[in-house]
């Protein structure tokens, strides 16, 4: 093994999708990262940091105060870790646009209205607050995925203009504000990559010479991808970024955004490929992103195997058996047991390359209208999830991480009964056996409600231990709503068995292939309101 190939090795923690890491958990994460050789943390905060003069920015969202950020910054510094603000100055600001003050500077979707005086007042206030809260003078200004830039209020006001030109003007203004407060900027590079090559994974053209002229020399571009496991792809990606700028850094990802369960095995495979490519191409900075899409359900500590493995890859240790052995010695839990936290998602396939969301889709699937039930085979889930629960139970005794295992074990206990509940209900209903319907309602439905409550209790402990309480309301609504919905279906089944209603309309409908795809084995979908109902929310 050699020394770390990267001058800077870090992790980005998502604190914008409701799950704002509390100070104690942040400090614990710093301890872990410092011990493993990481030297920076990007703190991803869309609107979850205090901004002077902007009382509605992060209002009731658990935003960090300036004092909290100073304390966190000081602790990180004491451990040799740089705390880098990671914000948004163009898109991904949907949470603020509910307020009249910001709605007027909302272009389209989650995008700021470029060119407006109030937009730059807000951004100036952001940077002034960052300068007072962080000692680092590096900042990630975001600017990714602004697909509808210039197509809303901007177009109404100024007419149609190419999004690349709008973005370039906006970027230059943001860079001037950043410079005013002494910051050097980095940004996600996908918008430039898309303009130059036609996409971020499928490269259909090469206009890099033209686009390179638009990239400011004092800007670092972040090449990012976490969807591939082939080093050759990452090498091509990095080469394309180098055609746009000499200042290129890389961000891979630890898959904590699928639901409650981390997907370490796929994350490690993808990161191994990207780290190898970065080492080969001379990239000097590598970051693992830990996104928390759709509610921040997964614990950031659930991806410890990925964090550990990447630290080893950075040093040139790609020896898988050795990495696993070292992980057990460091954490005190067998590698295979820790990565079993992802097993509730492995119902459809155990292959590392599959990233299905079986646990979330079937947890929230409607008993009478499960839009994914067409690919659920009755008779398999009970045995599968009982085995998963038995495995996870082994980790519950760990003094530090046992609570993670308990929460996911309780989720598995729910799925043992809930996973096939919809298909079982539909089969018995079609058989016309009303007494069997009554028995199902009084047993399986009652058991699901009981087990969801146990999962809720365990998950609440997990959340409150790691995160600020703001944001848990979404989980309370979802899981509480799930229990109420199952109880509602239970009552209707009993009413049907008692002859109080002639039929159950939802069960009269035939199931169609999920999402309109006729030949799929599993589902990759983590958006709650697209799972639990087909109705308008």
What residue segments make up the domains of the chain, in order of their start? 339-531
pLDDT band at 433 (very low <50, low <70, confident <90, very high): very high
pLDDT band at 4 (very low <50, low <70, confident <90, very high): confident
Residues 234, 280: Cα–Cα separation, whole Å:
10
pLDDT at 152: 98
Degrees to nearest 5, angle at CA 263 with 331 and 384? 100
pLDDT at 518: 87
Residues 147, 144: Cα–Cα separation, whole Å:
8
Beta bridge partners of 188: 222
Site of tokens 């370039």: 168
**Residue 180 pLDDT exceeds 60:** yes
Mean pLDDT across the stretch 444-461?
99
Which residues are CB-contacts of 387 (< 8 A; sequence separation ≥ 6)? Answer: none
Residues of the chain with pLDDT > 90: what percent? 96
SS3 category, 8: strand
Residues 392, 412: Cα–Cα separation, whole Å:
9
Residues of the chain with pLDDT > 70: what percent? 100
130 phi and psi angles, rounded to 5 deg: -60, -40
pLDDT at 519: 86
Kindly give the pairing relationship between strand 8-14 and strand 285-290: parallel
Which residues are CB-contacts of 25 (< 8 A; sequence separation ≥ 6)? Answer: 300, 301, 465, 466, 467
Tokens representing 513 are: 């292939």
Residues 494, 527: Cα–Cα separation, whole Å:
31
Digit-coded pLDDT (tens) for 320-360: 999 999 999 999 999 999 999 999 999 998 777 789 999 99
Digit-coded pLDDT (tens) for 99-129: 999 999 999 999 999 999 999 999 999 999 9
Residues 368, 85: Cα–Cα separation, whole Å:
46
Digit-coded pLDDT (tens) for 414-430: 999 999 999 999 999 99
Which element (helix H / strand E) includes 253? strand 248-253
Which of 2, 11, 1, 7 is CA-nearest to residue 307?
11
pTM as predicted? 0.97
Computed on alpha carbons and rounded to an integer, the radius of gyration of the chain in Å comes to 24
Torsion of CA 514, 517, 522, 523, to 10 degrees: -60
Q: Are 316 and 5 in contact (CB under 8 A)?
A: yes
Residues 112, 166: Cα–Cα separation, whole Å:
12
Residues 376, 421: Cα–Cα separation, whole Å:
10
pLDDT at 3: 77
Digit-coded pLDDT (tens) for 261-290: 999 999 999 999 999 999 999 999 999 999
pLDDT at 251: 99
pLDDT at 2: 62
71 CB-side CA count, 13 A:
10
Mean pLDDT across the stretch 507-521?
93
| Start-to-end CA span in the chain (Å) | 53
**Residue 219 pLDDT exceeds 90:** yes
Digit-coded pLDDT (tens) for 75-107: 999 999 999 999 999 999 999 999 999 999 999
Range with lowest mean pLDDT among 197-201, 368-372, 449-453, 527-531: 197-201
Class of CATH domain 339-531:
mainly alpha
Distances (CA, A) of 114 to 22, 46, 58, 108, 144: 34, 17, 21, 11, 15
**Residue 38 pLDDT exceeds 70:** yes
pLDDT band at 250 (very low <50, low <70, confident <90, very high): very high
The rounded mean pLDDT for the chain is 97
How much of the chain is helix, strand and coil, in % rounded to 5?
A: 50, 10, 40
**Residue 1 pLDDT exceeds 70:** no
pLDDT at 352: 72
SS3 category, 83: strand
């Amino acid at each position: 093994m050699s020394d770390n190939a990267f001058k800077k090795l870090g992790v980005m923690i998502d604190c914008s999708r409701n799950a704002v890491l509390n100070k104690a958990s942040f400090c614990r994460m710093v301890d872990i990262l410092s011990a493993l050789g990481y030297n920076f943390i990007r703190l991803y905060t869309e609107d979850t940091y205090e901004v002077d003069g902007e009382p509605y920015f992060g209002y009731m969202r658990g935003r960090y105060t300036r004092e909290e950020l100073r304390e966190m910054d000081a602790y990180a510094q004491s451990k040799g870790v740089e705390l880098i603000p990671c914000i948004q100055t163009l898109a991904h600001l949907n949470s603020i646009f509910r307020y009249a003050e910001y709605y007027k500077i909302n272009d389209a979707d989650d995008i700021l209205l470029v060119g407006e005086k109030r937009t730059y007042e807000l951004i100036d206030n952001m940077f002034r607050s960052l300068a007072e809260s962080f000692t680092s003078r590096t900042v990630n200004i975001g600017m990714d995925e602004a697909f509808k830039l210039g197509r809303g209020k901007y177009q109404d006001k100024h007419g149609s203009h190419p999004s690349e030109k709008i973005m370039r003007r906006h970027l230059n203004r943001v860079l001037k504000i950043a410079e005013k407060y002494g910051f050097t900027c980095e940004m996600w590079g996908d918008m430039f990559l898309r303009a130059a090559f036609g996409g971020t994974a499928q490269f259909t053209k090469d206009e890099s010479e033209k686009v390179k002229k638009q990239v400011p020399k004092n800007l670092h571009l972040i090449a990012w991808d976490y969807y591939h496991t082939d080093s050759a792809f990452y090498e091509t990606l990095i080469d394309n970024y180098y055609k746009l700028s000499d200042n290129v850094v890389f961000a891979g990802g630890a898959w904590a955004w699928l639901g409650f369960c981390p997907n370490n095995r796929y994350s490690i495979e993808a990161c191994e490929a990207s780290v190898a490519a970065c080492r080969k191409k001379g990239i000097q900075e590598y970051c693992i992103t830990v996104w928390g899409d759709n509610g921040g359900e997964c614990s950031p500590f659930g991806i410890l195997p990925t964090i550990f493995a990447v630290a080893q890859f950075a040093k040139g240790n790609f020896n898988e058996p050795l990495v696993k052995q070292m992980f057990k010695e460091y954490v005190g839990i067998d590698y295979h047991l820790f990565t079993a936290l992802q097993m509730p998602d492995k119902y459809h396939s155990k292959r590392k390359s599959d990233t299905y969301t079986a646990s979330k889709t079937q947890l929230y699937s409607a008993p009478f209208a499960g839009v994914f039930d067409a690919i659920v085979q009755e008779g398999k889930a009970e045995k599968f999830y009982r085995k998963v629960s038995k495995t996870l139970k082994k980790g519950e005794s760990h003094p530090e991480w046992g609570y993670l295992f308990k929460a996911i074990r309780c989720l598995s206990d729910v799925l043992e009964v809930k996973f096939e509940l919809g298909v079982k209900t539909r089969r018995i209903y079609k058989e016309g056996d009303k007494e069997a319907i009554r028995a199902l309602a009084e047993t399986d439905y009652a058991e699901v409600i009981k087990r969801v409550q146990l999962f809720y209790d365990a998950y609440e402990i997990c959340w409150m231990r790691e995160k600020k309480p703001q944001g848990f309301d979404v989980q309370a609504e979802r899981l509480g709503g799930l229990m109420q919905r199952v109880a509602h279906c239970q009552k209707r089944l009993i009413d049907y068995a008692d002859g109080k209603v002639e039929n159950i309309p939802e069960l009269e409908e035939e199931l169609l292939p999920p999402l309109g795809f006729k030949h799929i084995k599993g589902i990759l979908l983590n958006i709650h309101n697209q799972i639990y109902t087909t109705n308008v929310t």
